[in-house]
Amino acid sequence: MTEVASVLYGREDVRRRVEELGRTITGDYVGREPVLVTVLTGGAVFLADLIRAVDLPVETHFMAISRYGDAEESFGRVQILLDVEDDLAGRDVVLVEDIVDTGLTSRYMLSVLGARAPASLEICTLLDRSVRRIVPLLPRYVGFDCPDTFVVGYGLDYRERYRNLPDILRVDDLAALRADPDVLAPLLTDAAA
C-alpha cells in the first residue's frame, strides 16, 4: 500500500455490509416491488451488488446529472442528463447513492423524484459523510459512516479513476493525488491491494 492512500473499508467488509443492507431492504419492502434509482456513475457499482442482495422483485433505473467542478468539490447546481422514463407515481422509490457528503446532490434528487408522486421515497447510501452535511438530510439506509477524508474505490472516483478498486480507500495525501492523479494506479494491478 502506498502512503497516499490506505484501506478504509476492505472488500470483505463492503460485501458483508451490502448483504446486510439488502436483507434490511428486503424485510422493509416485503410484498412490494421497490424501484431503485441511482445516479451515474458512482452509484452503479453499489447498486449492482445491492440488487443482488435484495430478495424481492425490484426495478432499477439510472439517472445522470451534471455537476459543476470535480467530485472532490461537489456543488449543488445540477442538470438532468439522463432521466427515469417510467412513471414513478405510487411506487416505492429508493435513491441509491455512493456517498452523501454535503447532501446537495441528494436533496436535488429527492426534489426531482419527489415531484413524481412516489408512494414512498428513501435514501440508501453506501457512505454517509455527515460531518460535511450542508443540508439536513438523514438517509434511511447507511452502509458506513465516512470520516472527513476523500475516498476512492468501489465506484468512487478521482477524476474518473479508481472506480474499479474493490476496496474503499481513504486518500491520506490528497496533495499527492492532485499533483499526480495516477499515483494510485499501481493498486489497480496489485493483487495484494
54 grid coordinates = 435484495
167 catalytic per annotation: no
Q: Which of 36, 37, 63, 71 binds ligand IMP (CB under 6 A)?
A: 71
Which residue stretch of 3-11, 45-53, 57-65, 94-102 sits at the interface with ligand IMP (rule: CB under 6 A)?
A: 94-102
Question: What's the order of all strands across the beta sheet hosting 120-128?
Answer: 79-82, 59-66, 35-40, 92-100, 120-128, 141-145
The separation between CA 125 and the C-alpha centre of its own chain, rounded to angstroms, equals 5
Q: Which of 92, 98, 101, 157 is catalytic?
A: 101
| Residues 112 to 131 in contact with ligand IMP, rule: CB under 6 A | none
143 is a site residue for ligand IMP (CB under 6 A) = no
Cell of 30: 416485503
Amino acid letter at 87? Answer: D
Work out whether 144 is an interface residue with ligand IMP (CB under 6 A): no
84 binds ligand IMP (CB under 6 A): no
Supply 161's cell numbers.
479513476
* Binding piece for ligand IMP, criterion CB under 6 A, among 44-52, 97-105, 110-118, 177-185: 97-105
Nearest CA-CA partner of 99 in 35, 173, 174, 46: 46
Smallest distance from ligand IMP to CB 3, Å: 18
Instruction: Name residues whose C-beta falls within 8 Å of residue 189's C-beta, 6 or more positions apart in sequence.
Output: none
Report the interface residues with ligand IMP, using CB under 6 A. 42, 71, 74, 97-106, 150-152, 156-157
Q: Which residues are catalytic?
A: 101
